[in-house]
Amino acid sequence: MSADAAQEPRGKNGRAPDPLRVGGWMPMREYADDEHVDFAIVGTGAGGGTLACKLAEYGFSTVAFDAGPWWRPLEEFASDEDHQQKLYWTDERICDGDNPLQLGSNNSGKAVGGSMVHFAMVSLRFRPEWFKARTKLGYAVDWPLDWREMWHYYREVEQALSISGPVNYPWGPPRPRYPYRAHELNAAGLVLARGCEALGLKWTPTPLATLSAPRGIAHPCVYRGFCTIGCSTNAKQSALITWIPRAVRAGAEVRDLAMVGRIETDTTRLCTGVHYMREGQWRFQKARNVVVAGYAIETPRLLLISSNNWFPDGLANSSGLVGRNLMVQTNQAVWGKFDEEIRWYKGPP
Amino acid sequence: MRDRYPGYDVLDKRHTPSWNEVTRRVIDQRLSISREPNFFSEDEWLTLNAICDRIVPQPKDRPPIPVAALVDDKMAKDRTDGYRHYRLPKMQDAWRRGLSALDREAQTRHGGRFHTISVAEQDTLLLQMQKGSLDNPAWDGMPCTVFFSERMAHDIVAAYYAHPTAWNEIGFGGPASPRGYVRMSFDKRDPWEAAEAKPGGEDEARRRNRDVG
Domains and CATH numbers, chain A: 15-123+161-180+209-305 (3.50.50.60)
pLDDT digits (tens, 9 = 90+) for B95-105: 999 999 999 99
Q: Are strands A94-95 and B84-85 parallel, antiparallel or unpaired?
A: parallel
Nearest chain A Cα to B197, which residue? A341
Give the start-end residues of each E strand in A113-223.
164-165, 180-181
CA A192, chain centre distance (Å): 27
Q: How many CB atoms lie within 10 A of CB B4?
A: 17
Q: Which of A279, A227, A283, A280 is nearest to A260 (CA)?
A: A283
> Alpha-carbon distance A111 to A89, whole Å?
8
Nearest chain B Cα to A235, which residue? B178
Computed over its alpha carbons, how large is the radius of gyration of chain A? Answer: 21
- Enumerate chain B positions whose Cβ falls within 8 A of a Cβ in A: 18-23, 25-27, 30, 79-86, 90, 158, 162, 172-190, 193, 196
Q: How many CA atoms lie within 13 A of B208 on its CB side?
A: 19
Burial profile A130-149: b = 16 or more Cβ within 10 angstroms, e = fewer:
ebeeeeeeeeeeeeeeebee
Please determine, for residue A333, whether its predicted confidence score (pLDDT) is greater than 90. no
The shortest C-alpha distance from B154 to chain A (Å) reads 12
ipTM above 0.90, yes or no: yes
- Contact: A184, B184; criterion CB under 8 Å: yes
pLDDT at A328: 87
Measured at the alpha carbon of residue B129, what is the angle toward residues B127 and B153, in degrees to the nearest 5?
85
Please determine, for residue A1, whether its predicted confidence score (pLDDT) is greater than 50. no
Pick among B8, B23, B83 to test the A interface (most A CBs inside 10 A):
B83
Nearest neighbour of B180 by CB, restricted to A95, A224, A340: A224
End-to-end, the C-alpha distance of chain B in Å comes to: 25
Give the start-end residues of each E strand in chain A.
15-17, 25-27, 37-42, 62-65, 94-95, 164-165, 180-181, 253-255, 259-265, 271-278, 281-292
pLDDT at A33: 98
- Contact: A190, B187; criterion CB under 8 Å: no
- Please provide the average confidence, as pLDDT, over all residues in chain A: 95
> Alpha-carbon distance B114 to A281, whole Å?
48
> Alpha-carbon distance B7 to B212, whole Å?
10
pLDDT digits (tens, 9 = 90+) for A125-174: 999 999 999 999 999 999 999 999 999 999 999 999 999 999 999 999 99
Name the amino acid, one letter, at A41: I
Average pLDDT over residues A259-274: 96
Residue A236, phi then psi, degrees to nearest 5:
-65, 130
Residues of chain A with pLDDT > 90, as a percent, come to 92
pLDDT digits (tens, 9 = 90+) for B9-56: 999 999 999 999 999 999 999 999 999 999 999 999 999 999 999 999
Print the SS3 string covering B153-189: HHHHHHHHCCCHHHHHHHCCCCCCCCCCCCCCCCCCC
Nearest neighbour of B85 by CB, restricted to A95, A225, A345: A95
Question: What residue segments make up the domains of chain B, in order of their start?
Answer: 10-27+167-210, 39-163
Nearest chain B Cα to A96, which residue? B86
Output the CA torsion sign for A174, A176, A181, A185.
negative
| Helix, strand or coil, per DSSP, at residue A90 | coil
| Helix, strand or coil, per DSSP, at residue A235 | coil
- Contact: A223, B80; criterion CB under 8 Å: no
Print the SS3 string covering B71-135: HHHHHHCCCCCCCEECCCCCHHHHHHHHHHHHHHHHHHHHCCCHHHCCHHHHHHHHHHHHHCCCC
pLDDT at A294: 96
Nearest neighbour of A232 by CB, restricted to B172, B174, B177: B177
Q: Which residues of B touch A347 (CB under 8 A)?
A: 181, 184
The shortest C-alpha distance from B25 to chain A (Å) reads 9
> Alpha-carbon distance A68 to A13, whole Å?
18
pLDDT digits (tens, 9 = 90+) for A62-97: 999 999 999 999 999 999 999 999 999 999 899 998
Q: Are strands A253-255 and A62-65 parallel, antiparallel or unpaired?
A: parallel
pLDDT along chain B (213 residues), means of 10: 90 97 97 97 98 97 97 97 94 98 98 98 98 97 97 98 97 96 96 95 96 94
Nearest chain A Cα to B86, which residue? A96
pLDDT band at A34 (very low <50, low <70, confident <90, very high): very high
Q: Are strands A253-255 and A180-181 parallel, antiparallel or unpaired?
A: unpaired
For the CA atoms of B106, B108, B112, B114, the dihedral, rounded to the nearest 10 degrees, stands at 10
pLDDT band at A2 (very low <50, low <70, confident <90, very high): low
DSSP state of A219: P
Contact A273, A287 (CB under 8 A): yes
Name the amino acid, one letter, at A172: G
Q: How many CB pairs under 8 A join A and B?
A: 134
Q: Which of A93, A90, A128 is nearest to A106 (CA)?
A: A90
CA A313, chain centre distance (Å): 28
pLDDT at B1: 62
> Alpha-carbon distance A196 to B116, whole Å?
55
The shortest C-alpha distance from A266 to chain B (Å) reads 34
Q: Which residues of A touch B27 (CB under 8 A)?
A: 78, 80
pLDDT digits (tens, 9 = 90+) for A186-199: 999 999 999 999 99
**A 51-110: CB under 8 A from B:** 75-83, 85, 88-97, 100-101, 103-105, 107-108
pLDDT at A329: 83
- Contact: A101, B83; criterion CB under 8 Å: yes
Nearest chain B Cα to A90, which residue? B82
